[in-house]
Structure formats: C-alpha cells, structure tokens
A and B are shown apart, each in its own frame.
Chain A
Amino acid sequence: MSIEILGITVLWVFLYGYVIVASIDFGAGFFAYYGRVTGKEHVISHIISRYLSPVWEVTNVFFVFFFVGLVGFFPDAAYYYGTALLIPGSIALILLAIRGSFYAFGNYGSKDNSFYLFLYGATGLLIPAALSTALTISEGGFIEEQGNKVIFLAGELVSSPYSWSVVILAIVSVLFISAVFLTYYADRAGDTPARELLRTFALFWSPPTILASFLVFASLREHNERHFNNALEIWWMFGLSLLCFLAAVLLVYKKKRFGTSFILVMLQFFFAFFGYGASHLPYILDPFITIYSGYTNPEMGMALVAAFIAGLLLLIPSLILLMRLFLFNADYVKGEK
C-alpha cells in the first residue's frame, strides 16, 4: 500500500469513527429535546444523559483529529478548502461551539433549562447539514480558480440537487443511527418503556435513510459521472451495506438482539462510507487535489504515520477502559453506580 493510500485510509477511518459517535450524540440531543416537548422526557432523558455525559468530549476529538490529520497529510487541502469553506465552515464551527458549551451548561449547570436543551437539540441536526457541504464540495463544480484566487460558488451549491440529497441523507441517518444505538442502550439498562419508544424512532427513520441513500446515488450520476461509474465498479460494497441495513431493521422489528443490530448498522455505514470513499479516489477535491498531488513531504508523512501508531497504542487501551467503565458496565448503565 502506498503511503498516500495509507494516509487517506487513516483519515477516512477517523471520519467514519466521527460519523458513528457524532450521529449518536447529535441524534440523542434531538430525541432528548423531542422527549421534553412531547412530555415523554422522563422515559428517555436519563438513558441519554447517562450515556452522553462521560463521552461527549471524546466525540469532539474525533472531529478535530480528522481535520488536523487532513491538513497534516494533505496541506494543499488547507489551501483550497480553507478558502472555499470560510462561511460554511464558520457556521459549522459556531453551531459546534453552541452545542458543546450548551450541553455542559444544561447538564452540569441548569438541568431544567429548556432553552439550553433546545439549542443542544436543534444544532444536532444543523451541524451534519453544515459539515456535509464539505463532502459535497469535494465532488467538484463548486470551486473555481481564477489566477491566484480560489472562488467558492455558493449559488451553485445552494441550487444543486446533489447537495440537498447529501444534506437529507446526513440528517436522517443521524437520527437512524442514534435511535438504533439508544434502543440497544435502553435494552441493556433493562428499561423497557425507553426501549420501546426509541425502537419506534429507529423503525420510523429506517425507510427515509435508505431512500435518501438512493437519492444521493441518483443525483451523483448527474453531478459527477466519473465518481458514479467508479462506484458501480465496487457495487458489492453497497450491496453488502443494503443487506446489513435489512438485517438490522429486521432484528429491531422482531425485538431481538439489539446489540447485533447496532453492529449491523455500523457495518451498513462502514460499507457505504468506504465504498463512497474508495470510488472518490484518487481525488480529494475534484479536480484540484488528488492524494498524490496534495500529499505532504514523505519525511513528514512517515513522522505522522509513526505518531499515529504511537498514539493508537495509547488511545485504544484508554478507550477500552472508558467503554468498560461506562458503556459496557451493566451496573452503570442501569444507574446503580
């Protein structure tokens, strides 16, 4: 494997990690707020806050990790994306800032403040929409280079069907992933009413998720045919993704093995995400940067990979400790600790 492929794979794994953990977090915020508005707060809020409290900061790090890594491995990306994304990037940042801080204000400060919870819930749906514009831009057609100046065509982005289908997919899959995870978590806590409510959320959001996926495919064909054709060549990745989705929904529907069904959902997104990423290559930003043209100096590349491996040796045991203490500790989940 060439070092460029290794670099982009490392980054993609982190982005995938962020997609999963952030989806759980973003969706949870929305469900928590929905629960309060519809008077079902007592059913689900404690489940949600027991899960989120120890891990919300970790979720944020996944994201920082991805963009610092991207700039590190591919400094050219900083130049093009940096210039193009000033406005959408700043909006996403402000939303993230509101969300992170209001989570803390609401959870450690004023527990019963509905406005804090509203900000926390609403931003959870806006952030995926704002962040997904970076993925849309990567398909090309939204940036022009005139002489030494990089120009972002915001109008094109707003009027593109492809861009909107990505936004829709981002939002509905956040709700779907989150609902399936929380169903599993409530089941582990032995909290049947919470589980039942969250299960209906999971089932409700499953058809839109798969429909939005097809919509993205269809509009990609119009927007970037090269990418679409590449994707067709690895159609089996997307086929596996669909199978995992069907199996997961079936298990949730039959109220069996919620843990397995969440793993299946993770696999569903794993295949779709890596299929999308693989067919996107070699471009990072079509047509300006490929992983070969934008790659950092080889010395720095090696140093980054070495740092990455050393970092993982430190992180993996710590993450396992975190999960054993909170996620997979039956007493903690049930609220006995």
Chain B
Amino acid sequence: MELDSVTLSRMLTSLTLAFHIIFATIGVGVPVLISAAEFIGIRKKDDHYILLARRWARGFTITVAVGVVTGTCIGLQLSLLWPSFMQIAGHVISLPLFMETFAFFFEAIFLGIYLYTWDRFKKPLHHWLLSIPVIIGSSASAFFITTVNAFMNTPQGFKLEGRTITEIEPLAAMFNPATPSKVLHVLTSSYMTAAFILASLAAFAILRGRGSEYHRKALKLTMICGLIFSLATAIAGDISAKFLAEEQPEKLAAAEWHFETEKGADLIVFGTIDENNEIRNEIRIPKALSFLAGSSFDTEVIGLNEFPEDERPPLWIHYLFDSMVSIGFFALGISALFVFLSYWKKANPMKKWLLFLIVCSGPLSMLAIEFGWIYAEVGRQPWILRGYMKVAEGATQADNVGVTFLMFLALYIVLGIITVTVLLKMFRNKPAQAEFDDRFPDSPGIGQ
C-alpha cells in the first residue's frame, strides 16, 4: 500500500505526540509531588520525605530531558509537516506558542537551580521555595499549549477569506470556548497520573518485600494526592462532557454512538458496533447521556445524523472514551479504598491484592492519558481547524515523509529503551536504604 503525504504526516505527528505526552505528563505532574514531599519533610522534620523528594527529582531529570527533546521535535514538526496550516494559523496562535516557550524557559532556569542547590541554603525552606517557580513554569506551559489545541477545536478571534486572515483578536483566540475545560482536564489528569505512577513504584517495592517505612510513607502520600487529583479529574471530565455537548456535539455523539437527536438520551457503556451502526453487547443506562450533557435527564443531545457524513469522526473513539473513563474510576476507587483503610485504625491497607492494583494504577493512568488524547484528537476529524480547514489541506506537499517517519520511529524506540534502562540502573545501584544512611548519618535510620 502506497501511503500519501497526508497519511504519513498524520502518522508521524501521532507518533511524536504519543511519545511526548508520556514525558510531558510526568513533567507537569511530578514537580507537584516533589514539592509536596519536600514541604512535608521540612515541616515534620522527617528526613524520609526529604529523601523521597530527592530521589524523585533525580529520576525526574531523565524524564525531563526526554520531554524537552521530544517537545522540541513536535514544536518544529508543526511547521515541517503542516506548513500550510501554520502559515494560516500562525497568525492567530503564535501568541500562546510564544508564551509557552517563556514558561518553559522559566521552568528550565529554576529546575536547574533547584537540582543543584539542595545543600546550599541555610534554611531548607528557601530551597523548597525554588520548587514553586518550577511548578508554575511547567503548569503554565501546559496551559499555553493546551489553549493552542483548544483553538484548533473551537477556533475564534479571526476572519478567514481564502488564505487571508484578518480581524485578529489574539486573546479571544487564546480564551476560546474549549480552553477552560481542556486546561482543567489536562492539568488535573497530569497531576493524577504522576501521583499514581509514583504510587505504583512504592507499592511495587513493598510487594517485592523491599518495603520499609520510607516506602510506606511514599505510598500514603502519593495515594492521598492520587485521591484528590482523581476526584478533580473526574469533575474536570464532567465539565468537558458538558462543554462538548454544547460546542462540539459531533465529538461527544461519536464517542457515545448517539445518532438521533433526542431528549432523555441513553448512555452506552462498552458494547460493539457493526457496519450498519447496530449496537450490541452494550450496557445501556437510560437517560444518563442527557444527564452527562446538561445535568438534567431531559436535556436534548444532538446526534451524529445531524452532520454530513464526511464531517463525522470515526466511531471507534467510543472504545477509547470508555476505557479512559473506566480507568479514571478505577484509580479513584482504589485510592479512596487505600486512604480509607489507612485511617481506619482496625484495618491494614497493605494487603497484597490492593498493592497489586496500585502497581497497575500507574501504567493504567498513563494509558488513560493516551486514550484521552487520541479520543480528543481523532474526535475532531476530519478538521485540523474545526470548521475552517481540513487535515488534508494542511499537510506538507514534500516527498520523503515516509523516510522521516522511520527515522523518528527508530529514535523513539532507542530513547524509550535507554530511558527505562538508565532509570532502573539509577535506582538499583543505590537503594533508598543505602542513600539514606549516606545522606543522613545522624538520623535513626530508615527502619524496616
């Protein structure tokens, strides 16, 4: 099969983004956890938490590096693969793109300072203060870049005549209807995913019998954070669904296999669909989709049939949507259970099966991030600029996109493998116990 430039450009962009968001999510979320651990360590004068912050920060540097380089790749690939799109949209989205690099710059400076000044301040709190600009920088860059993506979903703030753009309002473009719900969902889900990834590391150590007081504290901290952030993510997801019903009904309709516009629409959970759009094996929750879309059981939900066939997103995004939501509730459930058991005096939260589920929660959360993004992006097909420009009009006309795809595929495979190897080696060579004795020789020890 001969693939054209448009398909290849889409494949390469998806590949880069799918790889980048793993590291971008960690990059946005983990600083929050590091900062929390250091703060608790200083307040409680507990060296375990300080060590936790240090060890997380050390692993974080590796993921940041890969995040930075893959971020640079996607930044340039926007122009390399979608030159016609950038020529037009560049007039409108360059402000948030520009500000994103400022935020990134700010984060880069303070991350460098944070990592190399652990022992340079007389008051530990001064070092902790440096983590604040790191969080501000990473979350702000997520904010700005998400406004660009939101703009592609609900473009506004300009007039387009042929290829000429006029009447630009940069701020209206940035604060488009999709911005609030998207930003909220991206930030909360990144914090959440970071919490569950760190939790699964701690749970894994305990499950393997290498657990100590240090790991138990880590697990408790990350699970509490995970509970808070997964609650916030669920709320943000609900806001997003209501936004979609209002502004991008075809995306919600495709995800829910909702064809006829009606009041009291059923929510379809799981199931399969055949070529005649017959739905089977589903769990049907009466009127729940209407409730999801507008907080009332008789909200009218616009169906997919209202849209011309060539402007409908593919129906397979339903599976992604359902998987994302299921994982979200799974993570919320186990963190709630764990926190409940830890505060209930008679119970023991360190049950094997629970620890095992926590180990799964980290990778699953990351998978949910991937599913959510694929759903969000494929859900606005066939548009690159919804209502203005289709994907095929934006792609490069250059040949050789196929070669480029293979080069980047090789790069990401190598980077992925080496990142994992280096991270494993880094922590195996220096277990928490040894590092603790090394760094805090006067402390009573890490305890088993």
Contact = CB atoms under 8 A, between A and B. Distances in A.
Interface of A: 53-55, 57-58, 60-61, 63-65, 67-69, 71-73, 75-76, 78-87, 89-91, 93-94, 96-101, 103-105, 108-110, 148-150, 152, 296-297, 299-300, 303-304, 307-308, 311, 314-315, 318-319, 321-322, 325-326, 337
Contacts of B77: 93
A98 B113 contact: no
Nearest to A103: B65
Contact of B113 (A97, A311, A322): A322
B404 interface: yes
5 contacts: A54-B115, A61-B105, A78-B87, A101-B418, A150-B398
B102 interface: yes
A90 B407 contact: yes
A308 B105 CA distance: 12
A99 B415 CA distance: 11
Contacts of A307: 95, 98-99, 102
Nearest to A59: B108
Nearest to B70: A97
Given A71-B79, A105-B422, 6 more contacts: A58-B108, A72-B95, A90-B404, A101-B415, A109-B426, A307-B98
Q: Which 5 residue pairs of A and B lie closest in terms of their CB atoms, listed nearest first?
A: A72-B94, A75-B90, A104-B65, A82-B83, A109-B422
Interface stretch (B40-48, B162-170, B358-366): B162-170
Contact of A86 (B62, B110, B400): B400
Contacts of A152: 398
B157 to A, nearest CB: 10
A75 B94 contact: yes
A300 B165 CA distance: 11
Given A94-B407, A296-B91, A299-B168, A60 B68 contact: yes
B422 A61 contact: no
Contacts of B79: 67, 71, 78, 81-82
A323 to B, nearest CB: 10
A97 to B, nearest CB: 4
Interface in B376-400: 396-398, 400
Contacts of B104: 61, 64
Contacts of A304: 94-95, 98
B69 interface: yes
Interface of B: 58, 61-62, 64-66, 68-73, 75-84, 86-92, 94-95, 97-102, 104-106, 108-113, 115-117, 119-120, 133, 165-166, 168-171, 396-398, 400-401, 403-404, 407-408, 411, 415, 418-419, 422-423, 425-426
Given A93-B72, A108-B61, A83 B83 contact: yes
**A-side interface mostly:** helix
Contact of B92 (A55, A149, A300): A300
Given A68-B97, A98-B411, A325-B117, A105 B62 contact: yes
Contacts of A297: 91, 165-166, 168
A66 to B, nearest CB: 9
Given A94-B411, A308-B98, A326-B116, A86 B109 contact: no
A213 B109 CA distance: 33
B80 A90 contact: yes
A150 B116 CA distance: 47
A68 B75 contact: yes
A336 to B, nearest CB: 11
Contact of A67 (B76, B117, B169, B423): B76
B108 A61 contact: yes
A68 B101 contact: yes
B396 A83 contact: yes
A284 to B, nearest CB: 13
B170 A57 contact: no
A109 B119 CA distance: 21
A193 B30 CA distance: 41
Given A69-B98, A300-B91, A300-B95, A60 B106 contact: no
B112 A303 contact: no
Residue among B78, B79, B112 with most chain A CB within 10 A: B79
A93 B411 CA distance: 10
A99 B407 CA distance: 15
B102 A315 contact: yes
Residue among B116, B165, B400 with most chain A CB within 10 A: B116
A71 B99 contact: no
Given A86-B400, A94-B408, A109-B425, A58 B105 contact: yes
B377 to A, nearest CB: 20
A105 B418 contact: yes
Nearest to B109: A318
B7 to A, nearest CB: 15
Contact of A79 (B65, B84, B400, B411): B84
